[in-house]
Structure 1
Amino acid sequence: MEKRVINPWEWQDARNYVQAVEVKNVQSTLYVSGQTAIDDDGVSSEADMRIQIEKALGNLEKVILQADFEMQNIVRLNVYTTEHSELFKNFDVLQNWISKHQMQQATTVMEVKTLFETLKVEFEATVVK
């Protein structure tokens, strides 16, 4: 797999994403459904945003690793939140997770009216190998 990052500017570097990712010679692509702060028994979290971000990222990581893909090969990460101000107050959790996995992904953050039950944040990813 060949991956090329396209960044016409430098300002996005401080926000831990890239403007575009070109991928060639892909062996396989994994499209991951939105992952949220739901526990192993299917119970939605009622915790605050920070804890929900941590749990949702853990769930995303669990799915990707179980599919035998690598975290650093996430090429697209969509973030949905019901509370953008709370998300950005806790954005360091996401940025540290991205840095930890040495990811360079295109990202979109979108505020939505509601998510399932008590959930506040959801992460949807595309991963290649």
Structure 2
Amino acid sequence: MEKREFSPWTWQNERSYVQAVEIKNPEGILYCSGQAAIEPNGISSNEDMKSQLQKAISNLEEVISLAGYKCKGMVRLKVYTTSMQDLWPHFHILQEWIAQHNIRTALTAMEVNVLFETLKVELEATVVK
């Protein structure tokens, strides 16, 4: 895989993303469904935003690993939340995970009206190798 990143500015570096990612000659592309705080038995969490974010990250990492990919290969991450105000104080958890895996991804974060059942945050990713 060849990967090039494009960011005409530097301000996004503190926010843990790049403006655009180009991939040439990938060996594979993994499109992950939105991962949220759902337990292995299918029960949706009713915990607070911080706990749900941590579980969503854990579930996303598990899916990526199970498929034989590495988190570092993430090129696109979409964050959906029912409250940006509630998510923002905990966003550093996601940023630390991104830094830990040396992820350089295009990122979009958006507030939505509702997620499935009691969920507050969902992470959707595209990963390449």
TM-score by length of 1: 0.99
User: How many angstroms apart in 1 are the aligned matches of 2:2 and 2:65?
Assistant: 20
**Deviation of the 1:45 alpha carbon:** 0.4
Runs (4+) off by over 6 Å: none
Can you give the 5+ residue segments of structure 2 that lack an aligned partner in the other structure? none
2:32 counterpart of 1:32: yes
C-alpha offsets along residues 90-124 of structure 1, whole Å, 9 cap, x if unaligned? 11110001001100000000100000010000000
1:1-129 maps to which residues of 2 (within 5 A)? 1-129=1-129
**Deviation of the 1:79 alpha carbon:** 0.3
Percent of paired sites with the same residue: 55
User: How many angstroms apart in 1 are the aligned matches of 2:99 and 2:86?
Assistant: 21
Aligned residue pairs, count: 129
- C-alpha RMSD of the superposition: 0.4
TM-score by length of 2: 0.99
C-alpha offsets along residues 3-26 of structure 1, whole Å, 9 cap, x if unaligned? 001010000000000000000011
Equivalent AA in structure 1 for residue 85 of structure 2: S
* Secondary structure of the structure 1 residue equivalent to 2:78: strand
Equivalent AA in structure 2 for residue 7 of structure 1: S
User: How many angstroms apart in 2 are the aligned matches of 1:110 and 1:92?
Assistant: 16
User: How many angstroms apart in 2 are the aligned matches of 1:33 and 1:91?
Assistant: 20
User: How many angstroms apart in 2 are the aligned matches of 1:86 and 1:95?
Assistant: 16
User: How many angstroms apart in 2 are the aligned matches of 1:86 and 1:98?
Assistant: 20
